[in-house]
Chain A
Amino acid sequence: MTEDSQRNFRSVYYEKVGFRGVEEKKSLEILLKDDRLDIEKLCTFSQRFPLPSMYRALVWKVLLGILPPHHESHAQVMMYRKEQYCDVLHALHVVRFVSDATPQVEVYLRMYQLESGKLPRSPSFPLEPEDEVFLAIAKAVEEMVEDSVDCYWIIRCFVNQLNNKYRESLPQLPKAFEQYLNLEDSRLLSHLKTCSALSRLPYDLWFKRCFAGCLPESSLQRVWDKVVSGSCKILVFVAVEILLTFKIKVMALNNAEKITKFLENIPQDSSDAIVSKAIDLWHKHCGTPVHSA
């Protein structure tokens, strides 16, 4: 009751009229005030609304399981996390895998490798493709999060989520992409098919790296909000929206390689719009997630 009264009574009308995100911050704060954080509610919230950047790190950490739902244990758990980070870092220093000169991203990679037991025998060993993915994601997260411990943990858990939770669904995304593109613009799809570019689209960049390196971080984090909160389908819509946005250019290109090349290096200026549209499209096709409560 108190929570309700704290909320602006107009919020209901804002939503009805179509102003979204007016009361988001407040409602998120209310959500975060709960002693035992309700993960589901947080998921729904982040799927429905863009997260305020000041709470993004916290919410991500909670959603990714870095922080437990209890506020009490946050400090302690965070301490553990930090120690673990330090230990691993120290170990890497000890085994001379990393040095002070090593770039932070690689440090994160080595740490992850160490923790997952995949540390190669020598740092000079060539990198695996998944390591490249990790590096791309890490680079993106590094831009978003300041604290290195948080950063490492977020990267780690994010990648883990991709590898575990989305292991099954990620390979399905290209198909879904084709389907939604057909619904949105069948001509474009047919064009892609005629150029035989459909199979050669940068699916790795889009779905495995989750657009890391493709979109600027400011837009990317909005996409990842959804990914972190449990929906990897948003990636499909972002991809569709990219194609729709650059439809004219894509239609003008006849070569599959050129298309791929162009899509790998899309201009960054319209990314915000793309993401907004993609989210709208996602809501349109998959429905707006509702509070389960």
Chain B
Amino acid sequence: MAQQANIGELLSMLDSPVLSVRDEVTAVFKENLSSDRGPMLVNTLVDYYLETNSQPVLHILTTLQEPHDKHLLDKMNDCMGRAASRLPALSLLGHVIRLQPPWKHKLSQAPLLPSLLKCLKMDTDVIVLTTGVLVLITMLPMIPQSGKQHLHDFFDIFGRLSSWCLKKPGHVTEIYLVHLHASVYALFHRLYGMYPCNFVSFLRSHYSMKENLDTFEEVVRPMMEHVRIHPELVTGSKDHELDPRRWKRLETHDVVIECAKISLDPAEASYEDGDSVSPQVSARFPHRAADVATSPYVDTQNSCGSATSTPYSSSRLMLLNTPGQPPQTLSPPSTRLLTEPPQATLWSPSMVCGMTTPPTSPGNVPPDLSHPYSKVFGTAGGKGTPLGTPATSPPPAPLCHSDDYVHISLPQATVPAPKKEEKTDSARPCLHRQHHLPNDRGLEELPGLKGSVTLSDLPGFLGDLASDEDSVEKDKEEAAISKELSEITTADTEPLVPRGGFDSPFYRDSLPGCPRKTHSATSGPQGTSVNPEPFNSSLDKRGPDTPKQAFTPIDLPCGGTHESPAGDRERQTSLETNILTPSPCKIPPQRGVGFGSGQPPPYDHLFEVALPKTAHHFVSKKTKELLKKAKGNTEEDYPPSTSPAEVLDRLIQQGADAHSKELSRLSLPSKSVDWTHFGGSPPSDEIRTLRNQLLLLHNQLLYERFKRQQHALRNRRLLRKVIKAAALEEHNAAMKDQLKLQEKDIQIWKVSLQKEQARYSQLQDQRDTMVTQLHSQIRQLQHDREEFYNQSQELQTKLEDCRNMIAELRLELKKANSKVCHTELLLSQVSQKLSNSESVQQQMEFLNRQLLVLGEVNELYLEQLQSKHSDTTKEVEMMKAACRKELEKNRSHVLQQNQRLDTSQKRILELESHLAKKDHLLLEQKKYLEDVKVQARGQLQAAESRYEAQKRITQVFELEILDLYGRLEKDGLLKKLEEEKAEAAEAAEERLACCKDGCSDSVTDHHEEASGHNGETKPPRPGGARGSSGSRGGGGGSSGGSSSELSTPEKPPNQRAGLFSSRWETTVGEPATSIPTTVGSLPSSKSFLGMKARELFRNKSESQCDEDSVTISSLSETLKTELGKDLGVEAKTPPTLDGPHPSPPNPDSVGQLHIMDYNETHHEHSEG
């Protein structure tokens, strides 16, 4: 609570008249706000403001920072809900919005907007509605994207309010409706500018209804006459308009300007792009010419300024003003005040240009400040004529700058061109030309060029602007200064005007307004009908006064009452001409002066030029209108196309006139004035009405100011661009200078190059000469060298010759040497021969001697022979014949021998061939033999195998036999044991019988054998043999045993023999002893047996094996029998001859055996 109280105190202190206290308190609040985030403080502040309308609180509220915006909006929303606080809340909202807080984008989402819209739709209070509409219009460019949601609300509001304007529901005062109408008109412009397609479709649908048709005819249609066709209607679409992307790249002021562009209303319209219609220019043109004629400086100025109508006119205006300056200075202060502002405005651009500080707040420049400038210019103007050298004189510097600005608006205007213009004093052609330029290009080229600058370079300039923030700050400072100043002035000059809620700049506006009022008051009483007259007089060609009248209301209210919509227009114009005229609102005063002073024609033209585009456009438009209606209509009936704003203007003007009149008369003028003017309203009511009106006007004014600020913002941006362009221009110039320098350099270099080339050529020549010299030297040297070469060649050939000679000589030497050697050899040979020959000689001598001796001997013998010759011849002949014969004989012999030799040789050859044949044969034979051998071996192998088989067979047989014998012996032994007793008794008998049998058997056997030996061997019957043996088996087993023993001759059976002998011993006794001897000679018998066996084998190879064995057995049998016979004989004999001679038969038997053995044939022969 304490805090609350504290705040209350503080709030009350806020309004203290002491400035320092106020500042402190404000600071305290701000601190609190920055520290406290709660909504309470803001709420209290708002409440307080609503209560007291306190200015400092408003200031605090409008500068609220981010976190409090929500509270503020909420609070205002609350207040909006209550009908009582609605209006203050709206006005607060308007204040807040106009300052464009950083959180303005939040407005679209805030609940405040719907409630505002609702209020606009529902409320019936005109003041609230007007205020709300103005706030809405202000807000729309800030939140263009919100249109998507609330578009129809906007349209509905428009529809409602437009119908209001016509229907006037309730007891709405007419005067309010004018305000309302103006605001609706503004809304129309805004909506049409921002959402043309949607808006047009809305209009179409809304006013197609019959009940609305009247409204359309009466209200909307006139409005439509003040707008051009929006380009978006052609290119855009409903959706495109609402596309946030479209709005994103547009700032608030951009939107405002966009809206202004489509307006045809001179108060609203903006012709920044120069897309104004040119016919007006042409209409205005003659005045220009006249103006030019009046001013001597026009030419220079024109030359300085360039082709576009705007700068041209402005610059001309400046110059035009300059000459006008001295008289003005002479005029009383009041008039001076009036005149000065325009000068200030005129001069401010140059100042701005020079200092590059764009004017921030309109009308900030106080008269004091502007005046020196005007003076300065006045001096400059004095020197103005020789302005041809801008670099030397200081004043032209700003001119140059303006020139630069001109460059932006019309780049094709060049610096040298103005210079030329200056020299040519004759202005007309220049002017003509310069006017032609804008005229021709007004529509076509300028927009394009302008557009190219503004659109394409805008970002760059914007960037520059951002960098040059200090300038903005400067603006602010200036604004602050001017504010204070204006406040002071207002305080001084106009204590009467009680405008607490007004902004300071407008205060100052009011300052010039005050004196103006007086002027206007002077003219005012004359009525509107009076005003045209001076116009008519001054402007010969304009003729009708009505246009001027239509024009004046705009000017006058501006000067008179601040609420007048002239501010609106002023701001618009300021947007346009900010660079040149920081306070365009001062133009109307000048007009006023024009009016008042009674020198309208020149000033009128001046103003026309001073408000370059708008004014010119406006004026031309007016003239056009007037020309249309000139003769027929001198009355005050306004053309139907008169915009609501104009109506309002006029209203205000009239009000102001009345008011001032009353003021001058009465202490309480307003009542009487209002009364008299509006007729019959009770004073109290009138005061309320007036208050409300005032409020409305204030609102309107605020709205206009906001617009103006937007324009200012834009102007600053454009200025930045201009500066940038100037900088670029400078840069270009610098570059050109550099280029020139470089060209110079290049030329210098070229000269040096030529020099160098010359030197080079000289050097080349020198070198060439040197080369030729050297070449010649070389040639000489080469020649020398060749000579030397030839000489050396010759010498070499000589050398070779010498060498050859030496070689030849050497060869000869060798030959000589060899010859010497040869000769030496020969010599030795010769010497040898010599010695030989010597010895031969000696011999020869010896032989000669002998010969001699022999010759002597021969002679001696010859003598002897001659003596004996006759006897020996016959003998010799005989001998010769004999020799011959012998020779022949020998020859024939030799022949014979030769023949023999031949034959023998032939024989040898034959024999050799025979031998070879034989050898061959032998080989063949050998081969054959081998073959045969192999064959034989094969056969032999087979035979051997057979033999082997036989062996095996015999072995088997033997085994079998032995086996059988074994069995037999076993049986025999048993029998022996049984028969031994009987045997002894019958032994002799049996033996005899046995012997007889055996003898007969043996004899027959022997015979058989003999016959077998002699002829063919008869196969002896084995059965027989067996039989014999078998039969004998009974007779004598011992004998069988002996025979068996005999049959195996290979094994010398001594034991068996022994056995046999022992048996024989036992049986025979003595002979038995002898038998062993015979048996001892068995080898022979054995050999015989072997032979026999071999014979048998050989003979009976093919016979059965059995037969062999049989024969063998039979042989043994025969032997046995023989033996037995012998024995028998012996036995016979012994019985006869007794036993003493048992031995003889043994040898006999042996002999027999021998005989049998060796002389078998004999034996057989003897036997046979």
Interface stretch of the complex, out of A19-27, A113-121, A130-138? A113-121
Given contacts A68-B934, A115-B952, contact A95 B957 (CB under 8 A): yes
A–B Cβ pairs within 8 angstroms, 23 of them? A65-B941, A68-B937, A68-B938, A68-B942, A70-B938, A73-B938, A77-B939, A77-B942, A80-B943, A80-B945, A83-B946, A83-B1102, A84-B949, A87-B946, A87-B953, A88-B952, A90-B1105, A91-B1105, A94-B960, A95-B957, A114-B956, A115-B948, A115-B952
B947 CB to closest chain A CB (Å) equals 9
Kindly state whether residue B1106 has any CB partner on chain A within 8 Å: yes
CB pair A88–B953 under 8 Å, yes or no, is yes
Instruction: Determine the distance from Cα of A94 to Cα of B1108 in the docked complex, in whole angstroms.
Output: 14
Chain A residues near B948: list those with CB within 8 A. Answer: 115
CB pair A76–B939 under 8 Å, yes or no, is yes
Interface centre among A69, A77, A80, A115 (most CB of B within 10 A): A80
0 or 1 for each of A69-98: is its CB under 8 Å from B? (1 = yes) = 110110011001101100110110011000
Kindly state whether residue A291 has any CB partner on chain B within 8 Å: no
B1101 CB to closest chain A CB (Å) equals 9
The one of B931, B935, B956 in contact with A91, judged by C-beta atoms closer than 8 angstroms, is B956
Apart from A68-B938, A87-B950, A114-B956, what 5 extra A-B contacts exist at CB < 8 Å?
A68-B942, A73-B938, A76-B942, A80-B943, A114-B953
Q: Once A and B bind, how many residue pairs between them come within 8 Å at the CB atom? A: 73
Kindly state whether residue A36 has any CB partner on chain B within 8 Å: yes
Instruction: Determine the distance from Cα of A253 to Cα of B945 in the docked complex, in whole angstroms.
Output: 50
Instruction: Determine the distance from Cα of A88 to Cα of B943 in the docked complex, in whole angstroms.
Output: 14
0 or 1 for each of B905-941: is its CB under 8 Å from A? (1 = yes) = 0000000000000000000000000010011011101
Instruction: Determine the distance from Cα of A195 to Cα of B868 in the docked complex, in whole angstroms.
Output: 144
Which parts of A95-116 form the interface with B (CB within 8 Å)?
A: 95, 114-115
Chain A residues near B959: list those with CB within 8 A. Answer: 95
Chain A residues near B934: list those with CB within 8 A. Answer: 36, 68-70
Chain A residues near B957: list those with CB within 8 A. Answer: 91, 94-95
Chain B residues near A70: list those with CB within 8 A. Answer: 931, 934-935, 938
Instruction: Determine the distance from Cα of A181 to Cα of B515 in the docked complex, in whole angstroms.
Output: 141
CB pair B931–A95 under 8 Å, yes or no, is no
CB pair A84–B946 under 8 Å, yes or no, is yes
A153 CB to closest chain B CB (Å) equals 10
CB pair A88–B939 under 8 Å, yes or no, is no
Instruction: Determine the distance from Cα of A115 to Cα of B955 in the docked complex, in whole angstroms.
Output: 10
Interface centre among B953, B959, B1104 (most CB of A within 10 A): B953
In the complex, which range does the number of interface residues on chain A fall in? 20 to 34
Chain B residues near A36: list those with CB within 8 A. Answer: 931, 934
CB pair A80–B952 under 8 Å, yes or no, is no
B949 CB to closest chain A CB (Å) equals 5
A91's closest neighbor in chain B, by CB? B953
Interface centre among B937, B942, B950, B960 (most CB of A within 10 A): B942
Measured CB to CB, the residues of B under 8 A from A are 931, 934-935, 937-939, 941-943, 945-946, 948-950, 952-953, 955-957, 959-960, 1102, 1104-1106
Measured CB to CB, the residues of A under 8 A from B are 36, 65, 68-70, 72-73, 76-77, 80-81, 83-84, 87-88, 90-91, 94-95, 114-115, 117, 119
Given contacts A80-B943, A87-B946, A90-B1105, contact A95 B960 (CB under 8 A): yes
Chain A residues near B939: list those with CB within 8 A. Answer: 68, 73, 76-77, 80
Instruction: Determine the distance from Cα of A87 to Cα of B931 in the docked complex, in whole angstroms.
Output: 29
Instruction: Determine the distance from Cα of A76 to Cα of B1104 in the docked complex, in whole angstroms.
Output: 18
Chain B residues near A95: list those with CB within 8 A. Answer: 956-957, 959-960
Interface centre among B938, B955, B957 (most CB of A within 10 A): B938
B954's closest neighbor in chain A, by CB? A91
Chain A residues near B950: list those with CB within 8 A. Answer: 87
Instruction: Determine the distance from Cα of A76 to Cα of B943 in the docked complex, in whole angstroms.
Output: 10
Chain A residues near B1104: list those with CB within 8 A. Answer: 90
Chain B residues near A83: list those with CB within 8 A. Answer: 946, 1102
Chain B residues near A80: list those with CB within 8 A. Answer: 939, 942-943, 945-946
A74's closest neighbor in chain B, by CB? B938
A156's closest neighbor in chain B, by CB? B945
The one of B941, B952, B1106 in contact with A114, judged by C-beta atoms closer than 8 angstroms, is B952
Chain A residues near B941: list those with CB within 8 A. Answer: 65, 68
Chain B residues near A117: list those with CB within 8 A. Answer: 952, 955
B1097 CB to closest chain A CB (Å) equals 13
Instruction: Determine the distance from Cα of A50 to Cα of B147 in the docked complex, in whole angstroms.
Output: 116
A122 CB to closest chain B CB (Å) equals 10
Chain B residues near A119: list those with CB within 8 A. Answer: 952, 956
Given contacts A114-B952, A115-B948, A117-B952, contact A81 B931 (CB under 8 A): no
Instruction: Determine the distance from Cα of A65 to Cα of B945 in the docked complex, in whole angstroms.
Output: 12
Given contacts A94-B957, A94-B1106, contact A87 B935 (CB under 8 A): no
